Amino acid sequence: MLLVAAALGLAFSQTVLAAAPAASLAGNPLATASTLPFHYPAFDKIKDEHFIPAFNAGMRIQLKEVSAIANNKAAPSFDNTIVAMEKSGELLTRVQTIFGNLQGANTNDKLDAIDSEMSPKLAAHADAIYLNPKLWARVKALYEKRDALKLDAESKHLLERYHTDFVRAGANLSAADKDKLKAINANIAKLQTLFTQNVLKETNASGLVVDTREELAGMSAAAIDAAATAAKAKGLDGKFFVAVVNTSGQPPLAELTNRTTREKLMALSLARGSHGGEFDNREVVLKIAKARAEKATLLGYANFAAYSLEDQTAHDTASVNKLLGELAKPAVNNAKKEAADLQAVVDAEKGGFKIDASDWAYYTDKVRAQRFAFDENQLKPYFELDNVLINGVFFAANKEYGLTFKERKDLPVYNPDVRVFDVFDADGSQLAIFIADMYARPNKQGGAWMNEYISQSSLLGTHSVVANHLNIPKPPAGEPTLLTYDEVKTAFHEFGHALHGMFSNVKYPRFSGTSVPRDFVEYPSQVNEMWAVWPEVLANYAKHYKTGAPMPKELLDKVIASKKFNQGFLTTEYLSASLLDQRWHQLTPAQIPTDVLAFEAQSLKDMGVDFAPVPPRYRTTYFSHSFSGGYSAGYYAYLWSEKLDADTVEWFKENGGLLRKNGDWFRAKLLSRGGTDDAMNLFRNFRGRDPVIEPLLERRGLTGK
């Protein structure tokens, strides 16, 4: 999955303000751009108390800049209006970017409180810009004569993009409706922040507590020891604490031999945010859904999904509903066939029970072992973290794009486990700085994501500082970090996002890096996953952490042969979440239900995906993608992007695979272009035609073959 610091829709300068910062920021390291290479943040100097003064000053300064643009007595021109807006807000961008990234990766109670305080203020700040009638008049005047301005293609697209942003932000509303919109936006910002914080706190509070080692049978001795240590840290001496991650399925379910323990772990995972208590999200969900529906109605749309999708490559709800609907039935049918295979193993072992969600991962590993004669634990010794990163992810980037990497220890980090690398282009010039934050922490949000601290822009003379975040459990001191196959794929996936950011070669910050539609942004990262099992790459990193012996070819062959295995489950859990996301956001204000769980259950039934052994990947009350704002009405984007990805993988195979000429073409035609053109035009320029769906159906085993 991609995540960046909340932006206001405008792009802001990363350069030092021409005017001196306000006196209130004296001694504040956020006041001016960092003097470290590429303006890398001075994490060692930034304190929690620096953020609120910097936020307030940043908003005040940008409003002054915007006022000067709006009230300029000179006739509107591209330079004095659009370019001037691109250069505005340097301080606010810096503080908002650093704060947003740290609040996701290394939060604490103070940062959470700041987030709660600032979210509605930042929403109001954005409204003050987009709903400024004089500023809108200048943008509109330029837009109406855009063909006569003789702008280059990127500049013309920027003007068009600004016009769209203003219209979608409500610039055409009456004064009274603008006031209503401002109130709604502030409310949504406050509610989204509350939802996000509840999810993290509930996840941390919802770990499984057991009394004996025997209840955790099947987990490794090291993992059980870690559970004992985690329990002791919580004041539960003599007990064992198993943390949960923010998906319905939990990794230990594949290992635990005690069915009662599996049932307890699955039940607490599925109940998060919906069983009462201070972190219950049910009422928050209803308020968010209603506020978003009201916003869409005010702006003239049928529902929030219609509003959101208009600005994506999918464009409308009908297109998304069609894609998801076409896949739902074959996916569930495949899942039911897989369930029958699992049930056969249970019956052969005289288990005496019917397969449910808590059993799926455990018995899937058994069927996998029978069918392909291996299980996931056979792979892990060959997937040591450093080998995966340096000799896998970086190696593939070198072969495909000519990149080289050099770790540096002199730059400050916000956590001792964070690593920093200089990234050099094929000609030896430095391209970017890459931050690798791989381990899970209680104060780090779940999942995996990429963000940028500094975005590339030739207008501003800036280069990329990008970060990847994973949530790999940290082993006890002295033990190696051994990854699952899914964690390896995730490392390659997130680095695909990083490449998209690092390769950016645009003029305007509004278009930098991953500033593309949400249902397009996952596409390049998904393409990068292909190199994880590419023979040349895998042979370079998949080596036993003790002996250095390469992964046996027969094991690799089994891994590749099993790629379609369990696709019924994987597709169904994803589709269920995607369909829920759409169902919530295709409601009008009057249709908002009163019971979250009842609505969820009925929706899954109506859509034909109510198969109890395969719950949605995210249930509503911990569905951060949907209700924290980033992928609201947009969780389908992974599947939409995968259609492009699967077709692109075929292109690489047709053209010889991991070759510099292929990487250079992909970089030139697509990765470097950011948001400078319509996303599907970029795909067509790369591929030579529109995408086809057959490679995706084949990949997911939905062709009936």
* Confidence bin at 554 (pLDDT 50/70/90): confident
* Confidence bin at 704 (pLDDT 50/70/90): low
Mean pLDDT score, 157-174: 97
Q: What is the pLDDT of residue 169?
A: 96
Does residue 20 carry a pLDDT above 60? no
Does residue 330 carry a pLDDT above 50? yes
* Confidence bin at 10 (pLDDT 50/70/90): very low
Q: Compute the distance between CA of residue 408 and CA of residue 637 in angstroms, rounded to an integer.
A: 35
Q: Which of 81, 140, 83, 6 is nearest to 507 (CA)?
A: 83
Q: Compute the distance between CA of residue 309 and CA of residue 331 in angstroms, rounded to an integer.
A: 24
Question: pLDDT by residue (tens digit) across 649-673?
Answer: 999 999 999 999 999 999 999 999 9
Does residue 696 carry a pLDDT above 70? yes
Does residue 700 carry a pLDDT above 90? no
pTM score, two decimals? 0.87
Question: pLDDT by residue (tens digit) across 454-511?
Answer: 999 999 999 999 999 999 999 988 999 999 988 999 999 999 999 999 999 999 999 9
> Which residues lie below 8 Å from residue 498, measured CB to CB, with a gap of 6+?
434, 450, 466, 467, 468
Q: What is the pLDDT of residue 282?
A: 98
Does residue 559 carry a pLDDT above 80? no
Q: What is the pLDDT of residue 489?
A: 95
Mean pLDDT score, 76-104: 97
- Is 494 assigned a catalytic role? yes
* Confidence bin at 5 (pLDDT 50/70/90): very low
Q: Please provide the average confidence, as pLDDT, over all residues in the chain.
A: 93
Place of tokens 């940062």: 111
* Confidence bin at 530 (pLDDT 50/70/90): very high
∠ Cα 30 33 37 (to 5°): 125
* Confidence bin at 562 (pLDDT 50/70/90): confident
* Confidence bin at 11 (pLDDT 50/70/90): very low
R_g over Cα of the chain: 25
Q: Which of 523, 236, 527, 297 is nearest to 401 (CA)?
A: 527
Does residue 3 carry a pLDDT above 50? no
Task: Choose the weakest-confidence range: 23-32, 149-158, 203-212.
Answer: 23-32
Q: What is the pLDDT of residue 192?
A: 96
Q: Compute the distance between CA of residue 649 and CA of residue 642 in angstroms, rounded to an integer.
A: 10
**From 86, 494, 573, 600, active-site residue:** 494
List of domains in the chain: 37-172 (1.20.1050.40), 206-271 (no CATH)
Does residue 17 carry a pLDDT above 70? no
* Confidence bin at 21 (pLDDT 50/70/90): very low
Mean pLDDT score, 618-642: 93
Identity at 202, one-letter amino acid code: E
Q: Which is higher by pLDDT, 588 or 21? A: 588
* Confidence bin at 376 (pLDDT 50/70/90): confident
Q: Which is higher by pLDDT, 376 or 369? A: 369
Q: What is the pLDDT of residue 556?
A: 79
Full DSSP string of 301-334: -SSHHHHHHTTSSS-SHHHHHHHHHHHHHHHHHH
> Which residues lie below 8 Å from residue 435, measured CB to CB, with a gap of 6+?
413, 418, 419, 420, 421, 453, 465, 466, 467, 468
* Confidence bin at 699 (pLDDT 50/70/90): confident
Identity at 100, one-letter amino acid code: G
Question: pLDDT by residue (tens digit) across 592-619?
Answer: 999 999 999 999 999 999 999 999 999 9
The full length of the chain comes to: 705
Place of tokens 């109130």: 183
Does residue 316 carry a pLDDT above 80? yes
Mean pLDDT score, 311-322: 94
Does residue 16 carry a pLDDT above 70? no
